[in-house]
């Protein structure tokens, strides 16, 4: 489970997965698409699913989109990696010793740089959990 979260999903990928999830939920619930019935918005579909699955109101649980769940789990894994001891293999391949900076991978090939899981996990943590503060990774 931990290693599956290390796969970085781009915004476009998450949008496609969210659209698929909502399309499946509409199909399961027997609801028409939004362009046919404007009342079946994404929020309405998720609320209807939540009402069906979690019948007790005191649970305070809700069905969420895959992207929200993924980003939440990504930030939890980042915290786990940051708290891990120096001899942990996951920390060794992700972060420099005794710091929170990512490992320098050396010279990369020309072209568009690949997106980095650690960079986007830190950015998500800053934006979601630190009141929307701006994340700029600086290398010192």
Q: Is the domain of 54 the same as that of 71?
A: no
- The pLDDT value recorded for residue 131 is 67
Q: Per the domain annotation, does 91 fall within a domain?
A: yes
Which of 40, 59, 78 finishes a domain? Answer: 59
- The pLDDT value recorded for residue 66 is 93
Indicate the SS3 state at residue 115. coil
Q: Is the domain of 55 the same as that of 71?
A: no
Our count of domains for the chain comes to 2
- The pLDDT value recorded for residue 94 is 83
Least confident of 34-48, 83-97, 102-116: 102-116
Burial class of 74 by CB neighbour count within 10 A (0 to 12, 13 to 18, 19+): buried
pLDDT at 101 over 90: no
Mean local confidence (pLDDT), 15-26: 94
Pairwise CA distance, residues 42 & 76, whole Å: 26
Q: Per the domain annotation, does 86 fall within a domain?
A: yes
Q: Is the domain of 72 the same as that of 124?
A: yes
**Residue 121 in contact with residue 100, Cβ under 8 Å?**
no
The count of residues in the chain is 140
Q: Give the model's confidence band at 140: pLDDT under 50 very low, under 70 low, under 90 confident, else very high.
A: very low
pTM value?
A: 0.77
**Residue 19 in contact with residue 33, Cβ under 8 Å?**
no
Q: Is the domain of 75 the same as that of 116?
A: yes
Pairwise CA distance, residues 48 & 28, whole Å: 11
| Residue 52, token pair as written in the block | 């069906």
Q: Is the domain of 54 the same as that of 73?
A: no
Q: Per the domain annotation, does 11 fall within a domain?
A: yes
Q: Per the domain annotation, does 139 fall within a domain?
A: no
Domain that includes residue 87, residue range = 66-129
């Amino acid at each position: 489970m931990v290693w599956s979260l290390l796969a970085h999903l781009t915004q476009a990928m998450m949008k496609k997965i969210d659209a698929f999830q909502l399309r499946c939920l509409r199909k399961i619930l027997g609801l028409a698409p939004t362009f046919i019935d404007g009342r079946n918005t994404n929020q309405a579909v998720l609320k209807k699913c939540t009402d069906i699955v979690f019948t007790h109101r005191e649970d305070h649980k809700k069905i969420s989109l895959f992207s929200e769940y993924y980003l939440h789990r990504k930030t939890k894994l980042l915290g786990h990696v940051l708290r891990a001891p120096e001899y942990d293999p996951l920390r060794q391949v992700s972060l420099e010793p005794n710091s929170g900076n990512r490992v320098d991978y050396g010279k990369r090939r020309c072209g568009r740089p690949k997106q980095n899981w650690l960079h986007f996990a830190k950015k998500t943590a800053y934006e979601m959990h630190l009141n929307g503060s701006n994340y700029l990774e600086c290398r010192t």
